[in-house]
């Protein structure tokens, strides 16, 4: 009897997730009847220990708010995941649990597709796991950046128009504005945005967050998180299928 290869996603309040449909469509296209993808909605990260005892679990994706917390439960990290300090993909092989970061791969693809040569400094809004992957990619490409969060020196209360004007790349990495709270928007000096800006919002549901709508009204080039999501998912699929020793 063929064993069922189980994959899934861990996070909190993630019923809206794109991953399940993405991978189920992939299984269908590749005619993989022995694969399944489940949503594991965990109230607390320690519940992942129960998940690890699931038979035939090949691995899983990790989303908010566990990309950093999952690290304590893993045996090993890829070089990138170690440098970033966040994991969004776990491979389980012979009982060994290895963490990877495919957000960096997905974000890099998105950035390079849209970035103009004169855009060489960025504002990263938020400081969670996704923001860490974004910072890693910006550093790799020599793009200077400032992180804006509730707890940083420049925060959402004191961020000013001039700072926004001087940073032509803006990456929105917080969950503010995600479905179903689509009316929500970060406090942000949109008057600093112009047609010289590239604004990337990592949210993909809705397609156009209030943040993206406000930025596009100022003439900025705007991009949502869908392409990044597809790319990081493809990279995760590669890891689950081709990392076998």
Catalytic residues: 67
59 Rama sector, left if φ>0, alpha if ψ -120 to 50, beta otherwise: left
CA–CA gap between residue 150 and residue 167 (Å, rounded): 19
Give the span between the Cα atoms of 95 and 222, in whole angstroms: 43
- Residue 194 structure tokens: 């112009």
Bridge partners (DSSP) of residue 100 are 89
Phi, psi values for residue 97, rounded to 5°: -105, 115
Residues 6+ apart with CB under 8 A from 47: none
């Amino acid at each position: 009897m063929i064993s069922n290869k189980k994959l899934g996603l861990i996070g909190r309040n993630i019923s809206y997730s794109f991953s399940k449909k993405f991978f189920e469509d992939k299984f269908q296209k590749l005619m993989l009847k022995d694969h399944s993808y489940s949503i594991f909605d965990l109230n607390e990260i320690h519940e992942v220990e129960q998940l690890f005892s699931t038979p035939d679990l090949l691995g899983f994706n990790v989303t908010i708010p566990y990309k950093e917390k999952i690290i304590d439960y893993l045996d090993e990290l890829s070089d990138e995941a170690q440098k970033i300090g966040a994991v969004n993909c776990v491979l389980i092989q012979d009982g060994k649990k290895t963490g990877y970061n495919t957000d960096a791969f997905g974000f890099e693809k998105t950035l390079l597709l849209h970035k103009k040569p004169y855009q060489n400094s960025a504002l990263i809004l938020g400081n969670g796991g996704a923001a860490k992957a974004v910072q890693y990619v910006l550093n790799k490409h020599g793009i200077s950046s400032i992180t804006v969060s509730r707890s940083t020196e420049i925060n959402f209360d004191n961020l000013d128009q001039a700072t926004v004007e001087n940073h032509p790349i803006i990456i929105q990495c917080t969950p503010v504005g995600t479905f179903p709270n689509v009316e929500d928007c970060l406090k942000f000096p949109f008057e600093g945005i112009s047609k010289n800006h590239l604004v990337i919002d990592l949210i993909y549901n809705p397609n156009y967050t209030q943040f993206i709508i406000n930025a596009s009204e100022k003439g900025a080039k705007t991009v949502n998180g869908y392409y990044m999501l597809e790319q990081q998912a493809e990279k995760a699929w590669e890891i689950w299928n081709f990392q076998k020793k």
